[in-house]
Amino acid sequence: MLTLLLSLLSAQASEACSPVTLRDLAALPSPGILVLGGNPGYATQLRRATRAVRALRDRGEPVTLAIEALPESAGGPIEQLQGPKPDLDAAREALRWDDRTDLPYAPYRPLLALGLSTVPRRVTLRPVGPPSRLSDLEAAELPTALIRRIGELEPTLSPTGRTRVAQARAASDAHIAQTALAGWSGEGHLVVVVDRNRVAGEGGLPWQLRERTSTPVWAATLDWREHDCVDGTWQWSEPTLRLAFPRLLTQPSKTDEPTGRGRASARTP
């Protein structure tokens, strides 16, 4: 009886959202681009991203890891930091993490360790975070779907306000897309780890990537939010119980929340 109940509930959840597992992501064909969206600074979600990158790396194909939390200007010291056993404390200082962001460093350590380690196989690490000043961003094509999405996230904004926020988000999405593609050889997989709001819904970063390449682009959020299922976006799922009771088993705990800035906002470019 319990098995039947779980099956029915899982089927209902699957109709509302599009669940994707680590095994699914690890089996994606190459060459390909995978965009993973999570709440900035959430340790559980960043560990999931790390597992996905490791699974793709272990297939023996090249993997390029692009991280929004690292601004493009942090690229200089990366080659000097890479090695069999990268010193992550030294990396924090060399990357000027605390100067460039107020996101907590600890949740990103596993992902950075994977990007800086040269064994058993090297993962190419690329910082792709956009400039903090909007004036440093070039205007980008604005998809209508993104304006609708901003309206869903910020319903109190006026139509003009929604358009302005969408324009800023489109410009930063375009910057990330261009920077990530420029840093990828086109072989194996490009994995881009970004803010969840860049992934959920149409018109975000995946749209900007597809406008710039014919390589297949897949996108998934690193959490399960049945109340925020939009446009068939893939959402991370693990055991059967997690699929059956997503609200009970996938809400971030208080200990998982970042201590610094990290809550997603539609207004953050």
DSSP 70-123: EEGGGGTTHHHH-BSS--HHHHHHHTTHHHH--S-SGGGHHHHHHHHB-SSS-E
The span from the CA of 216 to the CA of 30, in Å, is: 9
Question: Is residue 212 domain-resident?
Answer: yes
Domain boundaries, position 91: 34-256
Contact 150, 157 (CB under 8 A): yes
What's the pLDDT tens digit per position in 15-35? 456 889 999 999 999 999 999
Write down the pTM of the prediction. Answer: 0.83
The span from the CA of 72 to the CA of 171, in Å, is: 15
Question: Is residue 3 domain-resident?
Answer: no
**What pLDDT was estimated at residue 256?**
58
**What pLDDT was estimated at residue 75?**
76
Question: Is residue 13 domain-resident?
Answer: no
Question: Is residue 122 domain-resident?
Answer: yes
Name the 3-class secondary structure at 43.
helix
**What pLDDT was estimated at residue 79?**
84
**What pLDDT was estimated at residue 268?**
55
Query: How many domains is the chain partitioned into structurally?
Result: 1
Question: Is residue 80 domain-resident?
Answer: yes
The span from the CA of 203 to the CA of 212, in Å, is: 13
What stretches in the chain show pLDDT beneath 70? 1-17, 226-232, 238-269
Question: Is residue 148 domain-resident?
Answer: yes
Q: If we measure between CA atoms, which residue out of 118, 124, 23, 20 comes closest to residue 66?
A: 124
Question: Is residue 24 domain-resident?
Answer: no
Question: Is residue 6 domain-resident?
Answer: no
- The CATH code of the domain that includes 52 is 3.40.50
